[in-house]
């Protein structure tokens, strides 16, 4: 995933990840009806106390890492599938939503966590190794009036994932949103790629999504509502030289999301990527 801190406009666009349409199911990259090519995120978060964010439904974001160079993560324009986090939080009469964001210490994950925290969500900032950076994210969220805690967990480890979900429940009593963002790259040409390079990427980028989603959905089913957002990649559709492992994992995330949407939709749990 991207190693550098996302810009403010980049963060604003990613706030869209928190909430999706009340309509059940999943939607991935669809051709835009207007025929326009996807453009960079135009959404901006308002100043404190302002109106709700203005989000373009054809928003996309670019990763600054090699893995995301030129790739776009686009939201569907079908029935406002992806909506702003603040809007959803404002519509709830219950306490603020609780969100778990994996790989949230830097890059895309950091931008999502900060945007959700600023929009009123209570955020679990997950990280694998970057504890100092995760604490910085928590402080940034708290400085904007939000609430956040950091939690170290390897998303490819089932025990770690279960502990992280329990931490959210212990801290705030519920789990409303899961953003599966954690990801790694181990680039190499396919003919030279080692088995360990393949397995590490698949374990984190695909198996991690499966483990976190399964654990979160178990909790969400008890309340009969929830949102699961999986960060996929256009690389999973068109491929990329030197990233067979990454492309295969992201293609798997797309297929997994569709299956999740069918299984969980009837239980009022929306899965999208």
Structural domains of the chain sorted by starting position, each given as residue range(s) with its CATH number in brackets: 8-272 (3.40.50.720)
In the residue annotation, 246 being an active-site residue is answered as yes
- Could you read off the pLDDT of 22-73 as tens digits, one per residue? 444 444 444 444 444 433 333 333 333 333 333 333 333 333 344 444 444 4
In order of 90, 141, 148, 215, 220, the CA distances from 173 in angstroms are 19, 20, 14, 15, 11
pLDDT tens column, 168-194: 999 999 999 999 999 999 999 999 999
Q: Which of 127, 210, 246, 264 is catalytic?
A: 246
Give the position of tokens 């492309």: 247
Task: Mark 3-14 as b/e (b = at least 16 C-beta within 10 Å).
Answer: eebbeebbbbbb
Express each pLDDT in 198-257 by its tens digit.
999 999 999 999 999 999 999 999 999 999 999 999 999 999 999 999 999 999 999 999
pLDDT of the residue at 95:
85
Provide the pLDDT for residue 230.
99
Q: What are the tokens at 112?
A: 């999502």
Question: What's the whole-model pTM score?
Answer: 0.70
What CA–CA distance (Å, rounded) separates 262 from 115?
A: 28
> Distance between CA atoms of 191 and 268, rounded to whole angstroms?
44
pLDDT averaged over every residue in the chain: 78
First to last CA, the chain: 16
Task: Write out the H or E segment, with its range, that includes residue 251.
Answer: helix 244-264
Percent of the chain with pLDDT over 90: 65
């Amino acid at each position: 995933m991207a190693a550098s801190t996302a810009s403010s406009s980049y963060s604003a666009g990613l706030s869209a990840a928190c909430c999706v349409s009340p309509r059940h199911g999943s939607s991935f990259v669809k051709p835009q009806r207007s025929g326009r090519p996807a453009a960079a995120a135009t959404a901006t978060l308002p100043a404190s106390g302002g109106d709700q964010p203005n989000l373009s439904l054809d928003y996309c974001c670019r990763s600054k890492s090699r893995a995301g160079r030129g790739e776009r993560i686009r939201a569907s324009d079908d029935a406002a599938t992806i909506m702003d986090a603040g809007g959803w939080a404002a519509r709830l009469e219950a306490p603020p939503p609780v969100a778990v964001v994996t790989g949230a210490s830097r890059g895309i994950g950091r931008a999502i966590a900060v945007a959700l925290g600023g929009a009123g969500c209570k955020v679990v900032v997950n990280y694998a190794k970057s504890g100092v950076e995760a604490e910085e994210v928590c402080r940034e969220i708290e400085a904007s009036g939000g609430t956040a805690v950091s939690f170290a967990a390897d998303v490819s480890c089932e025990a770690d994932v279960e502990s992280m979900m329990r931490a959210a429940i212990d801290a705030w009593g519920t789990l409303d949103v899961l953003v599966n963002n954690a990801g790694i790259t181990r680039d190499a040409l396919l003919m030279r790629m080692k088995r360990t390079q393949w397995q590490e990427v698949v374990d984190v980028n695909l198996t991690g999504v499966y483990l976190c989603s399964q654990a979160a959905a178990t909790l969400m089913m008890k309340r009969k509502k929830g949102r699961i957002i999986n960060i996929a990649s256009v690389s999973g559709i068109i491929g990329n030289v030197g990233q067979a492992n990454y492309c295969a994992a992201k293609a798997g995330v797309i297929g997994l999301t569709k299956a999740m949407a069918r299984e969980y939709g009837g239980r009022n749990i929306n899965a999208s990527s």
